[in-house]
Structure 1
Amino acid sequence: MTIAIHCGQLIDGSGAGPIRNATIVIEGDTITAVNPGGEIPRGAEVIDASGLTVMPGMIDCHVHLMSTPRSLQDRLLIPHSLAVAEALTNARTTLEAGFTSVRDAGGTPRGVKMAIDRGLFPGPRMRIAVAALSQTGGHGDSTMPSGVNVRVTDPERPLSVADGVEGVRRATREILRAGADQVKVMTSGGVMSPNDEPGATGFTPEEIAAIVYEAHAAGKTVMSHAQATGGIKNAVLGGIESIEHGIYLDDEVIGEMIRRGTFLVATLVAPAWVIRRAEADPAAVPPYALRKSREVKVAGALVGTVRTEMDGSRGANPGISGRPGSSAGSAFRKSSVTIPLIIIRDRDWAEPRRPRTRCRSGQTRWRARR
């Protein structure tokens, strides 16, 4: 079947200016032509969007569709099957918000992705990390000061707290076995973890080297939760492809990232989202997490100034758990006097250029997938 979308104006995601009165021609799931003059093939099913602006589906490089901060009571009362149902609802909401591809940074099992891929539920294309590797006491270790571990049991998510070269090697292989498209490693402390600070460094260079080796041997990439300067530096020098958050970047690390082509996924709205979550449900966000969120919100605002210096080596995202926060992400960038067309290009164009994704999404052009 041939489908022709007649556009009032088309933003193709390349950064070029809008094209007025264009027609997009689709055969199956592939764009076969973009006709600037509005020519419609004979026999095509026409979708009249002549009064609208048409653009590619957006790509969110950092989501957690199944990881919503919850109170301890909710963690105990919500069964795994209900959490999966909520993740599928979040996936549908994400798609309806205009995000057709997402990069899930941990917590979402392979079954959610499979259900979407098989057409059982609506949702975006997904690349999943399944679980995030953490050192003992690091960001990802759910052991509380009482000694009680509040990690919710998930039969599809391997245990991911590991130490030592052989320990992290085995944990990486188990995460890959569980269906990870990329491996996530916590090379610094974080906001929600009870036993560390965002400025703390996680994992040794030798441990990082073992994780990267195992991921690359399986043809996968590695993403690093890295807020601390030392954690960012270790991740970049260790060959990790993307830095998530990057709160305490410095000039030396930025220069090394540019030289190596390392991506920055800045999650600019994440701290503000945690603060709003705490205001709405104080039991879901512990006081220590609220304090750390306020601290990194101030420091993280400086990360936005790095975007233009790093040019294409970045991925766009709100960086929010559970339901999508795309409107918050756009509002943040507009408040920073970012040109709207650059906002669109950032959201559509950076992730397909990420190494090894083999992605044909993000631009309205010949051979792109719908």
Structure 2
Amino acid sequence: MTRIVIAGGQVFDGTGTPAEAADVLVEGGQIVDVGTGLDGDVRVDATGHTVLPGLFDCHVHLLFDSADLVRSLNTPFSLPFYQAIGNMRATLDCGITTVRDAAGADLGVAEAVRQGLVEGPRMQIAVNMISQTGGHNDSWMACGAEIPQLLPPYPGMPGGVADGPEELRKVVRSMIRAGADVIKIASSGGVMSPRSNPRHAHLRDEELAMVVREAEAAGIAVMSHAMSGDGILAAVRNGVRSIEHGVFLTVEAIEEMCSRGTWLVPTLLAPRMVLGQADAGVPVSDVVLAKARTVVAEHAASFRAAVDAGVRIAMGTDSGVGPHGDNLTELTLMTQNGMKPAQALHAATRSAAELMGLREELGTIEAGKRADLVLVEGDAEQHVLDGTLKDAIRAVYQDGRKLR
């Protein structure tokens, strides 16, 4: 096998230690050594560059790229599957080699990547989001029509609205049958849903407990779209692995998250994407805009409180609410709201790998790990601060194969 050595750069290995000069030796899709003076069959000169582990985005929607409801109503059903190929390419171009798709991608999309039919980040999929009637995945509009935010139910995409423990048990099992690697629920209302309030908690304790119990029986975790303080706290107390968004975090919820080791995937970018599209002329309803504007300031304050308290944080963007390819803006937003650049990068590498149960394979540059690597010209941490990280990426490797 060809041995490739990426030599002469500064290696940010994701373990928590500062970046330092080192070479990285890759063979057969794996990192076989990290050190100085390494030799290989092919030498990649990384002088003046930072070598990062492949990055993670723990909250994306690869089949979507806009909040434009009018456009979606005029889009043929199958077109998003083809558009997803470009969305995956844009994600890889950010150095993101692993994602968690938080609803929209079905088993066929995941298998197309796994079988090498299309290039894309390796993924864990939720298939569809589960919410209560009137919740974040209820497509009922005030006019009486039902217009799905994501995709309508079809073979491979079970419906996601359920009420009561027994209905939820069946829906969770349906998601698992359809290929879900993680179960996604909504324990509060949200910004994009037409008839829900992000300050209101959804699903009761007995319902949340049932979801977590059924997921655990299948050996998988639960992620919860949770904005309201009560919705966050209920989800945490009932054993979800990660809180998505966490907009209206309370002191009690933060303390409970720290006590239980629950993760926060903040998606600071998400409401900003909605507002940015509205500014660009995309038709966004007044109700959704009002919610997005309310969320932004509270979201940042909650994130800062979580950072200060030591909540475990993994990077996620909600890309799909807006265009893919701007994912790394999330890292800059994290540094603007209390994180140091190295902490933000850690949230997108080792921490994210741990959240997704992939720490033994990915997230750090160590011998024996899969060779997902990103070559960044200059100082990656400074690029995070400046918001220029994407522009500085010179190469992306996935399992030792150069993708760009």
TM-score by length of 2: 0.86
Residues 1:185 and 2:185 aligned together: yes
1:86 paired residue number: 83
In the alignment, is the contact (CA less than 8 A) between 1:312 and 1:350 conserved in 2?
no
Residues 1:289 and 2:306 aligned together: no
1:68 to 65, 70, 88: 65
Distance 1:46 1:355, change over 3 A: closer
Cα separation, 2, equivalents of 1:337 and 1:237? 26
Compare 61-70 and 252-261 and name the one that shifted more: 61-70
Note the 1:45-64 alignment, pairs <5 A: 45-64=42-61
Compare 317-326 and 137-146 and name the one that shifted more: 317-326
Cα separation, 1, equivalents of 2:281 and 2:222? 33
Residues 1:123 and 2:124 aligned together: no
Question: Cα distance, 1:154 vs. partner?
Answer: 4.9
Compare 177-186 and 350-359 and name the one that shifted more: 350-359
Cα separation, 1, equivalents of 2:32 and 2:199? 49
Note the 1:1-370 alignment, pairs <5 A: 1=1, 2-20=3-21, 22-35=22-35, 37-41=36-40, 44-151=41-148, 152-155=151-154, 156-283=156-283, 285-311=284-310, 313-321=312-320, 322-336=323-337, 338-354=339-355, 356-357=357-358, 359-370=360-371
Deviation track 1:183-221 (CA, whole Å, cap 9, x = no partner) reads 000000000111111001111111111111111111110
Deviation track 1:78-117 (CA, whole Å, cap 9, x = no partner) reads 1232101111211111011111111111111121111111
Count of aligned positions: 365
Partner SS, residue 350 of structure 1 = helix
Compare 48-57 and 270-279 and name the one that shifted more: 48-57
Question: What is the identity percentage for the equivalent residue pairs of Structure 1 and Structure 2?
Answer: 38
In the alignment, is the contact (CA less than 8 A) between 1:64 and 1:106 conserved in 2?
yes
Question: Cα distance, 1:72 vs. partner?
Answer: 4.0
In the alignment, is the contact (CA less than 8 A) between 1:103 and 1:127 conserved in 2?
yes
Compare 5-14 and 320-329 and name the one that shifted more: 320-329
In the alignment, is the contact (CA less than 8 A) between 2:350 and 2:359 conserved in 1?
no
Unpaired stretches in structure 2, ≥5 consecutive residues? 372-404
Deviation track 1:156-177 (CA, whole Å, cap 9, x = no partner) reads 3111111111111111111111
TM-score by length of 1: 0.94
The amino acid of 1:367's aligned partner reads: G
Partner SS, residue 8 of structure 1 = strand
In the alignment, is the contact (CA less than 8 A) between 1:7 and 1:53 conserved in 2?
no
Cα separation, 1, equivalents of 2:115 and 2:56? 20
Deviation track 1:329-350 (CA, whole Å, cap 9, x = no partner) reads 1332333364222222221121
Cα separation, 2, equivalents of 1:154 and 1:86? 19
Cα separation, 2, equivalents of 1:364 and 1:111? 30
In the alignment, is the contact (CA less than 8 A) between 1:266 and 1:303 conserved in 2?
no
Deviation track 1:254-308 (CA, whole Å, cap 9, x = no partner) reads 111111111111111211111001222432x211111000001111011221343
Question: Cα distance, 1:359 vs. partner?
Answer: 4.8
Partner SS, residue 320 of structure 1 = coil
Cα separation, 1, equivalents of 2:226 and 2:161? 16
Question: Cα distance, 1:31 vs. partner?
Answer: 0.6
In the alignment, is the contact (CA less than 8 A) between 1:187 and 1:203 conserved in 2?
yes
Unpaired stretches in structure 1, ≥5 consecutive residues? none
In the alignment, is the contact (CA less than 8 A) between 1:221 and 1:356 conserved in 2?
no
The amino acid of 1:239's aligned partner reads: G
Question: Cα distance, 1:312 vs. partner?
Answer: 6.3
Question: Cα distance, 1:324 vs. partner?
Answer: 3.3
